[in-house]
């Protein structure tokens, strides 16, 4: 073993840890996963996108050219009444080219201003607000206020969540209502906005996705960290799921969770139940 003096005079630079670029969306809380991942001599760089830009890192480049390949991995949020395959197809992406691992489901909430009629709703006495109680004309859809998705998936907006932030701002002023995942409502919560549970809405599923062509040991290490696997675990072998399956369950995030719906297709060998975030 070289002595301390020999090591100090060694002209060779220290190895630079590999960096994973992770595309995130409003409401995502990857800090626990990132902490596990970076403890394995890896680096993670977050690229915080709006939901409208969540497919940018998977989409073909200009003129149908191959995707850039960065970020290598990212969050997806899809409606539970359709699934990730429909989301990918709507973005012009072939689901057969993408690995998706489902992690948890998110409950829907409705946000209204303090002067709104629904502000007097008592969830403990009356239960969740039925979606039929909402006036469709009063919906402040965040997509109406969101900017155009970036052409380059590494170009994140300066202030992610512009659409959701604006919708909550309008609702706080006493106009209409907006429907959001519970985690997003917490992210943009305000004292002058009432957040109520909602029934009759399908809710959302959340998972990690990456291109099969961009699969790597680095990606697998992060997915393993997200699933709570220890470094060197034999389950860190590559065994990704197709978009329609539910491979692997995440550890509970800071926001908590509960089991998701049972998938219609038999899960992969390494799978367990995803969780549901409230």
Q: All domains of the chain, ordered by start, with CATH?
A: 13-106+203-277 (3.40.190.10), 108-199 (3.40.190.10)
Name the token pair of 140: 């402040």
pLDDT digit string (tens) for 219-252?
A: 999 999 999 987 656 444 444 444 444 344 443 3
Cis before 28? omega within 30: no
Q: Where are the beta strands (DSSP E) in the chain?
A: 19-24, 43-48, 73-79, 98-106, 108-113, 129-130, 177-181, 193-199, 204-211, 275-277
Question: pLDDT 10s digit of each residue in the chain, 278 long?
Answer: 555 555 555 566 655 678 999 999 999 999 999 999 998 788 999 999 999 999 999 998 776 666 778 999 999 999 999 999 999 999 999 999 999 999 999 999 999 999 999 999 999 999 999 999 999 999 999 999 999 888 889 998 888 899 999 999 999 999 999 999 999 999 998 999 999 999 999 999 999 999 999 999 999 999 999 999 876 564 444 444 444 443 444 433 333 344 455 433 333 333 344 556 65
250 and 103 in contact (C-beta within 8 Å)?
yes
Residue 149: predicted pLDDT = 86
Residue 20: predicted pLDDT = 96
CB neighbour list of residue 123: distance below 8 Å, 6 or more residues apart: 129, 196, 197
CA distance 226 to 236: 11
List beta partners, residue 129.
198
DSSP-assigned letter for residue 207: E
Q: Three-state SS for 34? A: helix
CA distance 118 to 112: 7
CB neighbour list of residue 223: distance below 8 Å, 6 or more residues apart: 73, 101, 208, 240, 248
Name the pTM for this structure: 0.79
List beta partners, residue 211.
98
267 and 246 in contact (C-beta within 8 Å)?
yes
């Amino acid at each position: 073993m070289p002595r301390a003096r020999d090591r100090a005079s060694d002209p060779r630079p220290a190895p630079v840890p590999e960096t994973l670029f992770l595309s995130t969306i409003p409401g995502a809380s990857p800090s626990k996963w990132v902490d596990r991942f970076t403890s394995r001599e890896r680096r993670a760089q977050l690229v915080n996108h709006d939901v409208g830009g969540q497919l940018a890192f998977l989409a073909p480049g200009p003129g149908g050219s191959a995707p850039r390949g960065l970020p290598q991995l990212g969050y997806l949020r899809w409606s539970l009444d359709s699934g990730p395959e429909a989301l990918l197809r709507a973005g012009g992406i072939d689901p057969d080219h993408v690995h998706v691992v489902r992690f948890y489901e998110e409950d829907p909430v409705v946000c209204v201003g303090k002067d709104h009629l629904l502000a007097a709703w008592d969830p403990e006495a009356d239960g969740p607000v039925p979606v039929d109680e909402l006036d469709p004309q009063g919906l402040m859809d965040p997509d109406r206020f969101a900017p155009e998705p970036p052409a380059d998936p590494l170009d994140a907006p300066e202030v992610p969540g512009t659409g959701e932030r604006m919708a909550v701002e309008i609702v706080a002023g006493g106009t209409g209502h907006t429907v959001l995942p519970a985690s997003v409502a917490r992210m943009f919560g305000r004292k002058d906005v009432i957040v109520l549970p909602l029934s009759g809405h399908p809710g959302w599923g959340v998972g990690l996705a990456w291109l099969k062509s961009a699969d790597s040991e680095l990606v697998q290490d992060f997915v393993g960290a997200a699933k709570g696997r220890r470094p060197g675990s034999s389950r860190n072998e590559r065994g990704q799921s197709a978009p329609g399956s539910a491979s692997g369950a995440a550890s509970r995030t800071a926001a908590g969770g509960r089991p998701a719906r049972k998938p219609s297709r038999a899960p992969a060998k390494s799978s367990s139940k995803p969780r549901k975030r409230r």
